[in-house]
Structure 1
Amino acid sequence: MRVDIYRRAEHAGHFSYLAVPEGKMIPGEVINTDWELIDRGMDVNDDAKHLDGYPIDAPFEQIAAKGYAITSVKQIDKA
């Protein structure tokens, strides 16, 4: 699968990340924040447990459940 990666600034200089299937719009429930496109068309293996280089766990499970994958609140301070 190919995904587009977005990021937004959080507290203390940290970032959260959002992955959506390539070419799809950011879903309405998260569009009200300032997301910046940082990687377009990133190839991700279908069995990936996380996205290399980004603190997003279980990307395909999240995308299947809600249409996007996002950094867990627990991961923001580590990002």
Structure 2
Amino acid sequence: MASADTTDDGGLIHCRLDELLEERGITLTRLSELVGLSLVNLSVLKNDRARAIRFSTLSAICAALDCEVGDLLVTVRT
């Protein structure tokens, strides 16, 4: 979810998808099946390369992983 540029508040958004998948014992492939997104799109999100994400996508991922948006996306201060 993050890019190389920092936001106006000096923060950087980090997607914790990899950590959440590991904690829950779910593969990216299985998550792809559960939420109906391609592996490529989930990989972009997982590797902090996404520039945007739809609320429906956030909702689907959070439902599949039984988490809140704040568990998935965090601000990293530099």
Alignment TM-score > 0.5, same fold? no
Larger relative CO (CA 8 A, sep 6+): 1 or 2? 2
Give me the TM-score of the superposition, normalised by structure 2. Answer: 0.27
* Bigger-Rg structure (1/2): 2
Q: Which has the higher helix share?
A: 2
- For normalisation by structure 1, the TM-score amounts to 0.27
- Structure with more of its chain in strand, by fraction: 1
